[in-house]
Amino acid sequence: MAKFDDIEVGQFAEMTHKMTMEDLARFVELTGDDNRLHTDASFAAQTSFKKPVAHGMLGASFISTVIGTKLPGDGALWFAQNLEFLLPVRLGDELTIRAEVLRKIDRMNIVELQTDIFNQHRQKVTTGIAKVKIVEQVAVVPKLAESGRRVALVIGGSGGIGGAICRMLASDGFDVAVHSFRNKGAADKIVADIVEMGGSSASYSADISSPSDVTEMVQRVVRQFGTITALINCATGSMAPHKLDELHWSDVDEQLTTTIRGAFNLSQSVIPIMVESGRGKIINITSHYIEAPVANLLPYITAKSALAGYSRALAFDLAPRGIQVNLVSPGMTDTDLIADVPERIRLLTAARTPLRRLALPEDVAAAVSFLASDRSNFVTGETIRVNGGQMML
């Protein structure tokens, strides 16, 4: 909750947003403003703009996001705003929305903000002055972390393994934040399943290779659920095979970007929350293939091996702060990720597994459930292998 005394002149906050056709369609649906300059390419081509432009107030609406969630944040009553629309905003433009404190009016708890929007070329497209009253709470609300609330952020929660993990953690009493990148529909379905079973859940979209995307997502999760006590990272790159003589560094780099840069960005954003509350569980999903490699998966195996090393190093550094970091290493698991694996290979793998089958997503979720629970409070830097006995150490 924003406190007037904590706000200082010169303090600023900003966010970024890429203007999409979906944004435009939702704005038209909500407001009814279907002006053809915004919605009809052939009409716009006959104007001086030549191409459709986004509604000015659509871009300006993100000023509300900055004011309501970042500066001042909770308790901000936005009651006045003047605006100048300096340049058109096009679909695909990357906008940076910024608010900076110009002055404070102490007797009224009012903050005056300079509000500006820039495009990807650093051109100012919208500018104005906002006035915001800080409405402070009367009652004191205890910190959610102190009440024992458990909140899991599941990265890649829209996938086969991720979805099973989300549902199992919800059944364990966690509030579940379901992350997706390109499959929001699947994430929303998992959220609906959890809500139907009486749980609390919401979906979030983010590119985990982008620090700003991750930071914004984590802030939204904390705003909704109060804290994050468990981070489960199921993100994975493609398992498309690459023959060694056809391999490019870009194939390796793509895997490292998703797996290692993604894990790093997530850690950077979530660890401070866990340190503040004095507890936390981080669980990364690696792969059986780092111990039993197969042909033509060098980029994938390299990235997952790096994730294992990263996790053990992180476990060592975070142990004194009461945060455990562990790994779950599934064998071949019956999900969409192996849809392109030939049936012969799947059958052969099952036949060579002592338990005579492939792993199910629920098998992996059960291991994660243990590591996320208080039953694992003295376990850190470990790998639980869910491979039906293919690797026995």
Residue 144's pLDDT band, with cuts at 50, 70 and 90, is: very low
Q: Which positions are catalytic?
A: 300
Contact 53, 38 (CB under 8 A): yes
What is the pLDDT averaged over residues 373-384?
A: 96
pLDDT, mean over the chain: 91
The model's pLDDT over 145-165, given as tens digits with 9 standing for 90+, comes to 444 789 999 999 999 999 999
- What percent of the chain stands above pLDDT 70? 94
Lowest mean pLDDT among 11-15, 133-137, 326-330: 133-137
What is 88-104 written as a DSSP string? ---TT-EEEEEEEEEEE
Host H or E run for residue 78: strand 76-85
Order of strands across the sheet with 12-18?
12-18, 94-105, 110-118, 124-134, 76-85
Nearest to 90, CA basis, from 165, 10, 19: 19
Sign of dihedral through CA atoms 273, 275, 278, 279?
positive
**pTM over cut 0.85:** no
Structural domains of the chain, ranges and CATH numbers in brackets: 4-134 (3.10.129.10), 144-386 (3.40.50.720)
- Count CB-CB contacts under 10 A for residue 374: 8
> How far is CA 225 from its chain centroid?
14
